[in-house]
């Protein structure tokens, strides 16, 4: 397999769009997540060729589940896109799932496959170049502008203050200053007022056009699909207070180390399972790392330009909102529609190539995947319909692959692989269900619950290695 | 240098590059917050220097897998 084809499985739209959103929102974890998103697949490309070591039902089941969860995270994006474009979530999920099922039946992938990730990377970069030229700012200049912003407020041209915008997923908005919010979709809106102890929860049934007045400290719960309008010049709820806060993220500090390690172990472990090692040396092998770098750089670039030109686009937490709405804010019509369509097209191509690559990985561990693949797409669609947090899903899928699948791939024999997978699976499941069986678990366990692969993968790997060494010693003793 | 040894060295170098971001971001004195030409040292590192170095290491290793 070429490095470019191997890289396709890593270029999941959910990874890239969430990265862009996190950079735009000034997330404290964004710098190492961006670097980890690039270095994890590079490590996997360079790692020793990993071969299945015979029948391993634990790893096979975990791999199928992990692939379904990762695909579900992508389908959540399709649901987001449908809601942002005025449709229903299931329209997006149904269309994307249909395309994913249809693609392997078409002749196109045979010639389009290897080049598709490079085409998608170019399609993500071109709109960014158009935005950079229009704004007259290189990415580092845009970053600098974003970091000098005195306060993150709604500008005059923002869709949130002109016609209102739609929330593609449920959100909780925390207000740091008083402001009025006009409800454009009738429904029940819950407000948590924190000016008294204990906080007061009020539920307001509002008709379209009615206004909510919120005070500093209030928290407004918004359902998916709700459309709201905010006042121009007021602070964006949930956004960093200023450019300095966006740039330096005061939460960043030594206390974040366990979480950072958890995220990076999950990324690297997940990549070791999903991204096959590149076995073809030569100049073409450079394509994989170069496309990975270009695509991750494009994702970071989108985030930086959103933070500089339209930081309110991160409101609502839809990973697709920056790609769909930044062109309109930065370029204006009619170029904006073309550029937004190009960016959306890049995401669709990435989704299809990534899904095909996932299907290929399934074939590598479970044989010809036709019926199983249909089941995986069905399961992924059902999970996506719940509208979960796509990043949480991706971490779960990569973590499961890292904990159960990776130890099997790194083992030297069937028994060792089975032992590693079983221990990895037990540790992973134990940590996942921990909040259910022990709700009062110590706070330091929170990192392990968020990133179970941090413990489960090394444990599974250690058991696989120890079992392999013991089996090797027994074989050597018999030979002697 | 043999291929497996070169590969192991490259992987170690990639992981060191990754650890560098954590060092810049999470050490108490916050060296990553220092501005260079308007951009924080952390973002110069995580957004430009480390990605270019990591990609270069991977490309050299993958292109010259033998010899």
Convert the pLDDT of each residue in A124-166 to its tens digit.
999 999 999 999 999 999 999 999 999 999 988 888 998 898 8
Q: What secondary structure letter does DSSP report for B45?
A: I
Which residue out of A42, A244, A252, A267 would a mutagenesis test of the B interface target, given it has the greatest number of B Cβ atoms within 10 Å?
Answer: A42
Cα A293 from chain centre: 17
**Chain A to chain B Cβ contacts (< 8 Å):** 127
Candidates A289, A290, A296: best to mutate against B (most CBs of B within 10 A) is A289
Would you list which residues of chain B are within 8 Å, Cβ to Cβ, of chain A?
Answer: 4, 7, 10-11, 14-15, 17-18, 21-22, 25-28, 30, 32-33, 37-40, 42-43, 45-47, 50-52, 54-55, 57-59, 61-66
Cβ of A366: how many Cβ atoms within 10 Å?
18
CB–CB contact B62 A289 (8 Å): yes
- pLDDT above 50: residue A366: yes
User: Is pLDDT above 70 for A480?
Assistant: no
pLDDT of residue A365: 82
Helix (H) or strand (E) holding A221: strand A219-222
Q: Please report the pLDDT score of residue A438 as a whole number.
A: 76
Q: pLDDT for A243-277, tens place per residue?
A: 999 999 988 989 999 999 999 999 999 999 999 88
Whether the pLDDT of residue A425 is over 90: the answer is yes
| Interface check A150 vs B, CB under 8 A | no
Q: In A25-158, which ranges are continuous DSSP H helix?
A: 30-46, 57-84, 89-102, 108-112, 116-135, 139-147
How are beta strands A187-193 and A219-222 bridged, if at all? antiparallel
The 10 Å Cβ neighbour count of residue A110 is: 8
pLDDT tens digits along B15-65: 999 999 999 999 988 889 999 999 999 999 999 999 999 999 999 998 875
User: How far B35 CA lies from chain A's nearest CA (Å)?
Assistant: 9
Phi, psi of A89 (to 5 degrees): -55, -40
Q: What is the pLDDT of residue A436?
A: 80
Dist CA A272 CA A130 (whole Å): 36
Helix H, strand E, coil C: the string for A263-306 is HHHHHHHHHHHHCCCCCCCCHHHHHHHHHHHHHHHHHHHHHHHH
Chain centre to alpha carbon of residue B14? 6
A212's enclosing H/E stretch is: strand A211-214
- Cβ within 8 Å, pair B63-A286: yes
Neighbours of A157 (CB within 10 A): 12
Of the partner residues B39, B42, B55, the one whose CB lies closest to the CB of residue A144: B39
Query: What whole-number distance in Å separates Cα of residue A349 and Cα of residue A355?
Result: 10
pLDDT tens digits, one per residue of A45-88: 998 765 666 678 898 999 999 999 999 999 999 998 888 888 88
Distance (Å, whole) CA A45 – CA A271: 9
Q: Answer yes or no: is pLDDT of B67 > 60.
A: no
Residue A268 near residue A14, CB atoms below 8 Å: no
Which residue of chain B comes nearest to A42, CA vs CA? B58
Bridge partners (DSSP) listed for residue A191: A202, A220
Distance CA A317, CA A351 (A): 20
Q: Which residues is A179 bridged to in the sheet?
A: A214
Q: Token pair of A304, please?
A: 């930086």
E-state strands within chain B:
35-36, 39-40
Query: Cα(A435)–Cα(A440) distance, rounded to whole angstroms?
Result: 8
Q: Which value does ipTM take for this structure?
A: 0.95
Whether residue A89 contacts residue A170, with contact meaning beta carbons closer than 8 Å, is answered with no
Report DSSP letters for A376-440, one per residue: HHHHHHHHHHT---HHHHHHHHHHHIIIIIHHHHH-SSHHHHHHHHHHHHHHHHHHHHHHHH-TT
Q: State the pLDDT at residue A169.
A: 83
SS3 A163: coil
In this model, does residue A187 exceed pLDDT 50? yes
Q: Helix, strand, or coil here: A166?
A: strand
A35-45: pLDDT as tens digits: 999 999 999 99
Alpha helices per DSSP H over A103-222: 108-112, 116-135, 139-147, 159-162
Tell me phi and psi for residue A203, to 5 degrees: -110, 125
Q: Is A295 exposed, middle or buried (0-12, 13-18, 19+ CB in 10 A)?
A: buried
The pLDDT score that the predictor gives to residue A276 is: 87
Token duo for residue A277: 């090692």
Tell me the percentage of chain A whose pLDDT exceeds 90: 54
Hey, what are A316's tokens? 């609502």
The overall average pLDDT reported for chain A is 88
Q: What is the mean pLDDT of residues A168-182?
A: 90
Q: Residue A198: is the preceding peptide bond cis (ω within 30°)?
A: yes
pLDDT at A439 over 80: no
Judged against a pLDDT cut of 90, whether residue A415 lies above it is answered with no
The sign of the CA dihedral A309, A313, A315, A317 is: negative
A285/B43 CB distance under 8 A? no
Beta bridge partners of A397: none
């Amino acid at each position: 397999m070429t490095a470019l084809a191997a890289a396709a499985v890593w270029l999941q739209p959910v990874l890239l769009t969430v990265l862009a959103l996190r950079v735009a929102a000034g997330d404290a974890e964004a710098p190492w997540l961006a670097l980890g998103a690039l270095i994890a697949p590079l490590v996997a490309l360079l790692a020793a060729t990993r071969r299945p070591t015979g029948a391993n039902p634990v790893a096979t089941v975990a791999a199928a589940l992990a692939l379904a969860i990762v695909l579900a995270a992508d389908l959540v994006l399709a649901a987001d896109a449908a809601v942002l474009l005025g449709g229903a979530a299931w329209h997006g999920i149904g269309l994307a799932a249909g395309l994913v099922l249809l693609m392997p039946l078409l002749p196109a992938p045979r010639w389009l496959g290897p080049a598709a990730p490079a085409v998608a990377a170019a399609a993500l970069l071109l709109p960014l170049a158009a935005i950079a030229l229009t704004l007259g700012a290189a990415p580092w200049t845009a970053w600098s502008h974003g970091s000098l912003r005195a306060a993150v407020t709604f500008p005059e041209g923002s869709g949130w203050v002109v016609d209102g915008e739609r929330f593609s997923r449920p959100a909780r908005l925390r207000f740091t200053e008083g402001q009025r919010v006009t409800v454009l979709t009738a429904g029940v809106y819950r407000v948590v007022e924190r000016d008294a102890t204990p906080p007061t929860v009020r539920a307001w049934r509002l008709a379209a056009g009615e206004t909510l007045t919120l005070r500093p400290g209030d928290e407004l719960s918004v359902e998916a699909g709700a459309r709201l309008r905010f006042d121009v010049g007021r602070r964006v709820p949930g956004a960093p207070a200023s450019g300095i806060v966006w740039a330096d993220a005061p939460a960043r500090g030594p206390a974040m180390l366990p979480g950072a390690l958890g995220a990076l172990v999950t990324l690297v472990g997940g990549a070791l399972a999903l991204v096959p090692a590149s076995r073809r040396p030569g100049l073409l092998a450079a394509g994989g790392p170069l496309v990975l770098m270009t695509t991750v750089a494009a994702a970071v670039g989108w985030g930086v330009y959103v933070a500089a030109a339209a930081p309110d686009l991160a409101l609502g937490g839809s990973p697709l909102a920056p790609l769909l709405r930044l062109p309109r804010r930065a370029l204006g019509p009619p170029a904006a529609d073309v550029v937004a369509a190009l960016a959306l097209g890049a995401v669709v191509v990435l989704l299809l190539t990534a899904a095909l690559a996932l299907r290929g990985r399934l074939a590598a561990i479970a044989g010809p995947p036709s019926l199983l693949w249909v089941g995986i797409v069905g399961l992924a669609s059902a999970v996506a319909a719940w509208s979960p947090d796509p990043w949480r899903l991706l971490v779960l899928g990569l973590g499961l692959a890292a904990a159960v699948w990776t130890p099997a791939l790194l083992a030297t024999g069937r028994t060792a692989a089975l032992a590693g997978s079983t221990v990895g699976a037990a540790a992973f499941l134990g940590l996942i269900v921990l909040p259910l069986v022990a709700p009062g678990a110590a706070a330091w366990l929170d990192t392990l619950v968020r990133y179970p692969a941090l413990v489960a993968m090394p444990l599974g790997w250690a058991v696989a290695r120890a079992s392999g060494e013991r089996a090797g010693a027994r074989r050597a003793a018999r030979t002697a | 240098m043999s291929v497996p040894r070169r590969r192991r060295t490259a992987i170690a170098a990639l992981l060191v590059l990754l650890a560098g971001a954590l060092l810049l971001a999470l050490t108490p004195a916050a060296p990553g917050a220092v501005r260079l030409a308007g951009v924080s040292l952390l973002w110069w590192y995580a957004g430009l220097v480390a990605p270019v170095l990591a990609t270069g290491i991977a490309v050299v290793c993958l292109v010259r897998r033998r010899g």
